[in-house]
Amino acid sequence: MKSNRRLFAFGCSFTNWIWPTWADIIAPYFDEYYNYGYSGRGNWYIYNMLLNADKTYKFTKDDTVIVQWSEWTRVDELIDGLWTSDILEKKYEQDILNRGFACMQSANNMLKYIGCEYYTMSLNDFDLPKESKLNKSYVLTHSRILENYQDIVDELDPPILKYLDSKRPIKLYNDVELYNLHPLPSEHIKLIRLKFPQYLPRNDKVIAAVLDNQLARVFYENQLSKFVNVDDNLSIKWQDIEWYGCKRSNKQGFLNVK
């Protein structure tokens, strides 16, 4: 691995969550680490964060940039200096899909021009919601947009959700059952193995088991329900929890993972 390199990660909660994600786990391979992931955000927000990060830190060819595109149906708006996100109304589906692909194309062009190492991936595919498939004109327009950006569709296939075990609940340490659909640390390690294996930590299977058990132990020791819905327990801040002997900070990941 090269030294003196920076990692910039962008995405939604599959990039930055209350326990370690793929970004945190590969961070020790880099000297500096910046995670711009934000729960619930869509592709317009992610694209803007990419531009902001480049403006602030000035990407170079020695950097590594990884963009995890979000659900294409999420709508982001910047109102009075604050970002908001929601699921779009049906009548705006085609506009948001097309805008999302334009952001992806622009991001690719920018990163290629810079010459840095970069990867892109998508949370899910670009299928129409079931109710929209009943409208023939919607289906036709949707298909045309996908054809226009077929190279990006191919680049992002298969989406992250197809890599992961969707079985829930998952039983962990002390019979803690996890219903939350966010990937376990072990599932993030599986994603690393498939997407960028050069950053797979040594003893990855051991680390995966340790991190999963640590996650369950946190819930158990905090006397949470065994039927854990993490969304209802966001008062547990992961920055205050030691994961595998490490604490996360703004610029570094779990330093003894690799």
Higher pLDDT, 220 or 63: 63
**DSSP secondary structure code for residue 38 in this structure:** -
Look at residues 72, 65, 152 and name the one whose alpha carbon lies nearest to residue 110: 65
Secondary structure letter of residue 10 according to DSSP: E
pLDDT of residue 127 exceeding 70? yes
Q: Where are the beta strands (DSSP E) in the chain?
A: 6-10, 32-35, 64-69, 74-79, 82-87, 117-122, 170-171, 177-178, 227-228
pLDDT at 253: 42
Instruction: Determine the pLDDT at residue 101.
Output: 95
Predicted pLDDT at 92: 62
Listed by start position, the domains of the chain span 1-163, 164-244
More confident position, 88 or 107: 107
Mean pLDDT of 229-252: 48
- Token readout for 21 is 């994600």
Q: Which of 14-18, 24-28, 110-114, 242-246 has the lowest mean pLDDT?
A: 242-246
Residue 20: band (very low, low, confident or very high) from pLDDT cuts 50, 70, 90: confident
Higher pLDDT, 103 or 207: 103
Q: Which pLDDT band, with edges at 50, 70 and 90, does 235 fall under? A: very low
Beta strands in 5-131 (DSSP E): 6-10, 32-35, 64-69, 74-79, 82-87, 117-122
Mean pLDDT for all residues in the chain: 81
Other beta carbons within 10 Å of 189: 25
- Tell me the average pLDDT across 166-183: 74
The rounded distance, in Å, linking the Cα atoms of 179 and 172 is 11
The CATH architecture one would assign to domain 1-163 is 3-Layer(aba) Sandwich (3.40)
The first and second tokens of residue 19, run together, are: 């326990």
Nearest to 37 by CA among 18, 60, 61, 62: 18
Does residue 17 have a pLDDT over 80? Answer: yes
Say which residue the tokens 């670009």 belong to: 126
> 224-250 burial, b for 16+ CB within 10 Å, e for fewer?
beeebebeeeeeeebeebebbebebee
Residue 215's pLDDT is what?
A: 78
pLDDT (mean) for 152-171:
81
Residues 59, 112: contact at Cβ < 8 Å?
Answer: no
Q: Which of 46-50, 75-79, 132-136, 197-201 shows the lowest per-residue confidence on average (mean pLDDT)?
A: 132-136
> In this model, does residue 2 exceed pLDDT 60?
no
CA distances from 77 to 50, 126, 181, 243 (A): 16, 21, 25, 34
Nearest to 30 by CA among 63, 66, 78: 63
Q: Is the pLDDT of residue 227 over 60?
A: no
